Amino acid sequence: MTAPLLPTIAGPADLRRLSPEQLPRLAQEIREVIIDQVMATGGHLAPNLGVVELTMALHRVFNFEHDRLLFDVGHQCYPHKMLTGRADRLSTLRQTGGMAGFPEPSESPFDLFSVGHAGTGISTAVGMARGDTLNGEGYHSEKNPDGRRTVALIGDASIVNGLAMEGLNNAGTLNRQMLIVLNDNGMSISKPQGGFAKALDRVRMDGRYLDAKLRAKRMADAIPGGESLVRWYHKIGEVAKDLVAEDSWFADFGLLTVGPVDGHDLPKLESVLREVAKADRPIVLHVHTVKGKGFEHAEGNATKFHSPPAFKVKGCSVETASKGRAFTAAFSDALASTMAQDDRVVACTAAMPDGTGLTRILEEYPDRAWDVGICESHAMDMMAGLAKTGFRPFFAVYSTFLQRAFDQAFQEVSLQGLAVRLCLDRAGLVGGDGAVHHGFCDISLLRTLPNAAILAPIDEPSLKAAVAWMAGYDDGLSAVRYPRGTVTERDLGPCPAFELGRSRPLLTPEDPVAAIISYGTSGLDALEAAEALAAEGMTVEVHDGRFAAPVDLHLLEDLAHRELPVITVEDHGLPGGFGAAVAEAASDAGLPLRLRRLGIPDQWIPCGSQSDQKKMAGIDAEAIVNLVTQEILSP
C-alpha cells in the first residue's frame, strides 16, 4: 500500500518537491480529509473542494513566505491551511481553541488578513502591492526579479461586489505585477445573480479560441505602454493560444485577461501561472472550477453543501442531526404569511436566500422578491426606491453584512424618512465562523438613526409578532435581530403584540432583590439564572426589553421608583448596545437607576460553540447569577 503524501507536507517547500505524477494523489487525499472533517464538525465544504488543485498550483509557482496571497472571503482556505503546516490542526476546525475556518494571521504568517466578507481581497492586495513597491520590495522582471509578487484570489460572485469593482478600477493603475485569480465556479452560496454572472455563463459555454496577437493589439491600444504586452504575448506563445478567452470586460479597467483555464488541470494551471507570474502588468486569470469537486453530493447540490453542519452519508442520502426549528425557518414562515396578507410587502436578500430563509419566498413571490447577489449596498438602496414608490420592503441580511450597507441605511433610508425593514439573521455570537461573522454592532449602528425602531424576539411567537408589527411601521427604518440557532421550546405564555417602545414582563415575583432586563434570546439565560437564584432563596424580576430603540422608559421609571438594582443582558457589544441605550435613557430622564450591564465585551471572541462563546463573553446564565450574588447583593 502506498504511503499517504499529506503527512509529508510540512509546508509549501515539500509540495514543490513532489513530482507532477504525485499531485493528483495528494489532491485526492486533501479532499478526503476535508470531507471527513466537515462531516464530523461542519464547516465550509463545497468551496474548499473546488479549489484544491488551484491552491496547490499557486503554492507550487509562488513562494508565499515571500510573495503575497490575499484571500477574498476566505471560506476556501482549508487546502491552503493544510499546505502551510496546519494539516494536523484540521481536527480542531471551528472549535473552541481550535483552527479558524477563515484565514487567521495569529495562526500563520501565510495568512495576511482575517477575512470573512466578500469583495475585500483585491483592494487589500493593491495596497500591499503599492506598499511593497514603496519599500523597494516589489517584483519587477528586470529591476527586481527577486521582489515580492502579489496574488488575490476572488470568486465570480464576490467580484461583482461594489468594493471589488473599486479594487479592480484601482488595480488597473498599478505599474507593476499583480495577479487577480478569478475562481469561476458558477456559484456563490447559491446561484450568482446579475449581468456579470450571465456574461461568465456565456464565456464558459463558448468554445472559440481567440487569436492571441489580436488580443494583445487591443490591449496595447487600451493601456499606456501596452506595447510590452504584445512582446509578452509573443513570449508565452503556445500557452496563450491554448487559452479560451472572453472578450475582455476587464480591459476597461486596464487589466489584461487570460483564460478561462480548467481549474482542475494541474499541469495547465502551473504552466499558465508560471508565465503570468513574470508579467510586469496587472492580470486577471480566469479559472473555471467545479464547486464541491470530488464529492458527488456537493457537486450535485453546492448550495446545500456550501457550509453544512455535521452530517452522515447513508447510501445515496445525507443525514444531518436535527437540532430543532431554526430562527431562519421561523422568520421565513412569518414573512411568507405577511406577504400573503399584504401585496405591498416585497423582499430581497444579498446572495443569501438559504441563509436568510428567502428561498421559498423567491419561489412563491418571484415578482415581489429578489436575490441581488453580494451587493448589500445596492439592496438597501433598491429597497429605499421601492419604499418611495409605496411598497413595504423587507431586506433579509446577516447582521455582520448589514455593516456594508450602513451608509445607505443612513442616507437613502433614514434621512428620507422611508420605512425599510431589516431582518438581521445571525445576530450576536455565531459559533464556528468566529469573529469575522459575529453580529455585535447592529444596534450600535442603527439606533443612531432618528425614528429607527430596533426589535428582538425571544422565541418564535415573538418573532412572528415582530415581523407583523414592522409591516405596519411606516415612520422610519425598523430592524428585527435574531440569532443563529433554534427557537426555544420553552412555553413563555401568550405572546402580546408589539407596541413601540414597550417591554414584556416574563417573571414578576413578590419582593424581588433585583430586576433583569434582557434583550432577545438573552431572556432565556435570564430566566435560567432566575431559576438558579430562586433555588438559593433569591427572587428576581425578568423583563423582555423587546426594543433597543426606543427603550421602555415606563419600565425604567417603575424600577427606579422601587429602587431595584437593574441588570441588562444582551447578545451584542456593550458599546452602544441595548444596555447603553437603557443607561442613556435613564440618564436623560434623570432616573437614579442602579445599573449593571452584561454584553459582549470590547474584545474579539474566537471560533467555538455558541455556548462556549457566551461563557467567554460573560453573558450566560452563570454570569448573570454571579453578578447578582457577588456584586449586587454583596455589601
Q: Does the N-terminal peptide bond of residue 260 adopt cis geometry, omega within 30 degrees of 0?
A: yes
Is residue 376 among the annotated active site residues? yes
359's enclosing H/E stretch is helix 359-364
How far apart CA 287 and CA 262 sit, in angstroms, is 6
Distance CA 176, CA 138 (A): 8
Residue 404 falls in the annotated catalytic set: yes
- Kindly name the residue from 149, 368, 404, 426 that is annotated as catalytic: 404
- Active-site residue, selected from the candidate residues 29, 376, 460, 570: 376
User: Which entry of 291, 426, 447, 614 is annotated as an active-site residue?
Assistant: 291
Inter-CA distances, 490 with 6, 461, 527, Å: 48, 11, 11
* CA distance to 117, 125, 196, per residue, from 72 (Å): 7, 10, 18
CA distances from 618 to 264, 437, 526 (A): 46, 19, 13
Residue from 206, 141, 198, 199 nearest 175 by CA:
141
CB-count burial class (<10 Å; 0-12, 13-18, 19+) for 194: middle
Amino acid in the structure at residue 558 = D
Compute the half-sphere exposure of residue 555: CA atoms within 13 Å on the CB side of its CA: 27
Q: Is the separation of the CB atoms in 398 and 437 below 8 Å?
A: yes
Residue type, 251: A
User: Which residue from 625, 626, 602, 600 is spatially nearest to 613, judged by alpha carbons?
Assistant: 600
Q: Say how many CA atoms lie within 13 Å of 55 toward its Cβ.
A: 26
> Catalytic positions, please?
291, 376, 404
